[in-house]
């Protein structure tokens, strides 16, 4: 039981619902309440798919794709850096994003990104598949609930509070991106 709680806390911290909430609100400023709920559902589905894929066969997926874990870290780091810049600057470096695009960006690399994938693979090896999946699905449920109530949270915090939260979490997202880049590059040395 202790392994479950430790894995759950670890995965919840890595999935970081607050960063996902900030990104969701930042990337979907002009979206309706219905569209935000749709994004929350789709983001969670994407995150669940990625989580289960790597829980069930993470190393095999990397081998099949011919991708080194360090290359994956570097690519994830670049994506997180760009996303962090968008959050901090309040800009979009791409065209206006549709609901599905926002859902994919929030689902991965934020919720089930490089850190979640690496942690999942390590947890499966150390505590087993069933415990890892139960812990991960519980963390995903909490993350989903935070995203589902994005409208209420946005209303509670107000525009200024959400901008402050998005900026702070954008800086954290950029730091994660930089760390992934560094880790990936160090892995090649």
Q: Are 87 and 154 in contact (CB under 8 A)?
A: no
Return d(Cα 179, Cα 174) in angstroms, integer.
9
Percent of the chain with pLDDT over 90: 23
In this predicted structure, which of 20-29, 55-64, 89-98, 134-143 has the lowest mean pLDDT? 89-98
Instruction: Using pLDDT thresholds of 50, 70 and 90, give the confidence band for residue 99.
Output: low
Percent of the chain with pLDDT over 70: 95
Instruction: Using pLDDT thresholds of 50, 70 and 90, give the confidence band for residue 61.
Output: confident
Q: What number is the average pLDDT over the span 16-26?
A: 79
Give domain limits for the chain: 2-10+32-188
Q: What number is the average pLDDT over the span 2-31?
A: 82
Which residue, 47, 38, 58, is CA-closest to 20? 47
Q: Are 50 and 108 in contact (CB under 8 A)?
A: yes
Q: What angle do CA 164, 176, 178 make, to 5 degrees?
A: 115
Return d(Cα 76, Cα 58) in angstroms, integer.
16
Instruction: Using pLDDT thresholds of 50, 70 and 90, give the confidence band for residue 115.
Output: confident
Question: What pLDDT shows up at residue 92?
Answer: 66
Q: How many CA atoms lie within 13 A of 27 on its CB side?
A: 33
Q: What number is the average pLDDT over the span 117-142?
A: 92
- Burial string for 103-120 (b: 16+ CB within 10 Å, else e) reads bbbbbbbbbbbbbbbbbb
User: What average pLDDT is seen over the chain?
Assistant: 83
Between residues 179 and 146, the one the model is more confident about:
146
pTM for this prediction: 0.73
Between residues 56 and 107, the one the model is more confident about:
56
Structure tokens at 75: 């690519």
Q: What number is the average pLDDT over the span 88-108?
A: 72
Q: Does residue 4 surpass a pLDDT of 90?
A: yes
Instruction: Using pLDDT thresholds of 50, 70 and 90, give the confidence band for residue 128.
Output: very high
Query: What would the pLDDT profile of 69-83 be if each residue is shown by its tens digit?
Result: 788 778 777 877 887
């Amino acid at each position: 039981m202790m392994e479950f709680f430790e894995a759950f806390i670890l995965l919840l911290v890595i999935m970081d619902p607050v960063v996902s909430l900030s990104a969701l609100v930042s990337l979907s400023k002009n979206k309706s309440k219905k569209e935000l709920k749709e994004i929350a559902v789709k983001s969670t589905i994407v995150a669940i798919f990625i989580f289960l894929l790597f829980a069930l066969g993470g190393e095999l997926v990397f081998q099949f794709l011919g991708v080194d874990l360090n290359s994956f870290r570097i690519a994830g780091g670049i994506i997180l850096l760009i996303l962090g810049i968008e959050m901090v600057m309040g800009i979009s470096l791409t065209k206006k994003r549709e609901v599905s695009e926002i859902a994919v960006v929030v689902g991965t690399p934020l919720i089930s990104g490089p850190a979640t994938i690496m942690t999942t693979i390590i947890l499966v090896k150390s505590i087993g598949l069933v415990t890892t999946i139960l812990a991960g699905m519980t963390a995903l449920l909490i993350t989903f609930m935070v995203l589902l109530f994005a409208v209420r949270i946005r209303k509670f915090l107000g525009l200024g509070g959400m901008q402050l939260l998005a900026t702070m979490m954008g800086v954290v997202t950029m730091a994660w991106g930089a760390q992934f880049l560094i880790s990936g590059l160090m892995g090649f040395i």
